[in-house]
Structure 1
Amino acid sequence: MEKIVFYLLVLVATIKCTTTAPIDFIRASCKTSLHPPLCVRCLASYADSIQHSDHHLAKAAVTVSLNDAKSAAAFVSKLARVSGLKPIEYQAVKDCISTMTNSVVSLSQSVQELEGMDRTAGQDFEWHMSNVETWVSSALTNQNICSEGFGVDGRVKDVVTKRMVYVSQVTSNALALVNRFAVNHRKGIHKP
């Protein structure tokens, strides 16, 4: 009887040592991104829904990016209504609104596409994943275009650039996690 109790205790201790918390999964996954601390900070509150799923992690990362892009788009839209903008600043803000609208649309499409991907495989998976990768990449490009569209130095450029750099970093992290999900799914490491 003592041997059985001993083996059970060893088994329980082994299970506790090999099981990692969802936040550890997020930390390990975020190491593949360009901005790991930001990645972990943005996704930590989603740990319970992510668990150890690459799919849920990618979907949460794109959702965070979408929410930040919406917030940045709203911020830039408010800037367009500020009086005292130089004509060149006003035009840059208007162009930024357009590119951020495109970014939000691309990220929205990505979230929708990721919704049902846990039920896809083979060519279906590849087609849906290609859409997501393209749209998230497009969103990132639009965010960068917004940042680079200000030809005149000044307070407006500084404020918009700071906001866009943050959103671009979050989206870059999302793209890295989407790519990680795709690679792991193809290798058969897919966790629903």
Structure 2
Amino acid sequence: MARLAFFLISFLSVYFHFTAAATTAAAAATGSTSSYTDFVKSSCSAVQYPALCVESLAIYASTIKQSPQQLAQTALAVSLARAQSTKDFVARATKFRGLKAREYAAIKDCSEEMDDSVDRLAKSGKELKRAGASKGQDFRWHVSNVQTWVSATLTDTTTCLDGYASATLNGRLKTSIRSRVLNVAQVTSNALALVNRYASKP
């Protein structure tokens, strides 16, 4: 009986020890996740579309942690993904039946602009990684390339949106394309702001 009591006491002691350790670890992990999310929110407060910034980047907080480079890298990846999705949608739209010549021309032009955007954003992501492994003049050169390409992407989206403003398009199709391109423009604007913030690091 005494042995059984000793065994139970030992078992409960070990059980509560590991339970307490697990609880402490979970609390620490929760605290870290919270601080990472706070970092994203704080960084997003300085961009043009803060709510969209938080919405698109907070889910990656545990990967971003508190790294300005990783934040900018993730923002570029989000822009690339949305640009690719929009490019695919616009490309499909060129094959819709019943398009008028002006409608087709506007959609075709936009498709080409989005194609350029995807290429530039893909290059920007790779170039930012090179910047992270560089210092001094090399760092500034790589970042400058990223800033140039991302700015050019914003010009691409503006050109696409201007084309729809001047063309007589089917209402539903026009709304669908414009909303997607506008979203790409907004997340890309945010990405550029975060790249600029990273570029200004000491």
Q: Is the 8 A contact 2:103 2:169 kept in 1?
A: no
Q: 2:77 aligns with which of 36, 39, 63?
A: 63
TM-score normalized by structure 1?
0.84
Task: Determine helix, strand or coil for the equivalent of 1:165.
Answer: helix
Q: 2:63 aligns with which of 37, 49, 66?
A: 49
What does the per-residue CA deviation read over 1:125-168, in whole Å, with 9 as the maximum and x for residues that have no partner?
Answer: 11001000000111111011111112215323222111111111
Matches within 5 A, 1:125-164: 125-150=139-164, 151-155=167-171, 156-164=173-181
Equivalent-residue separation in structure 2 for 1:168 and 1:69 (angstroms) = 9
Q: Is the 8 A contact 2:41 2:54 kept in 1?
A: yes
Equivalent-residue separation in structure 2 for 1:57 and 1:168 (angstroms) = 18
Equivalent-residue separation in structure 2 for 1:158 and 1:45 (angstroms) = 28
Specify the alignment match of 1:13 in structure 2: none
Specify the alignment match of 1:36 in structure 2: 50
Q: Greater shift after overlay, 144-153 or 104-113?
A: 144-153
Q: Is the 8 A contact 2:131 2:140 kept in 1?
A: no
Task: Determine helix, strand or coil for the equivalent of 1:82.
Answer: coil
Q: 2:189 aligns with which of 149, 155, 172?
A: 172
Q: List alignment gaps of at least 5 residues for structure 1.
A: 1-15
| Bigger helix share | 2
Equivalent-residue separation in structure 1 for 2:95 and 2:47 (angstroms) = 36
Q: 1:85 aligns with which of 99, 111, 127?
A: 99
What does the per-residue CA deviation read over 1:35-82, in whole Å, with 9 as the maximum and x for residues that have no partner?
Answer: 101001100121111000000000000000000000000000010111
1:100 aligns with 2:124: no
TM-score normalized by structure 2?
0.80
Task: Determine helix, strand or coil for the equivalent of 1:84.
Answer: coil
What is the Cα-based RMSD across aligned positions, in Å? 1.6
Equivalent-residue separation in structure 1 for 2:46 and 2:193 (angstroms) = 6
Give the number of the structure whose alpha-carbon radius of gyration is greater.
2
How many residue pairs match? The answer is 169
Q: List alignment gaps of at least 5 residues for structure 2.
A: 1-27
- AA partner of residue 39 (structure 2): F
Specify the alignment match of 2:10 in structure 1: none
Question: Greater RCO between the two (CA within 8 Å, min separation 6)?
Answer: 1
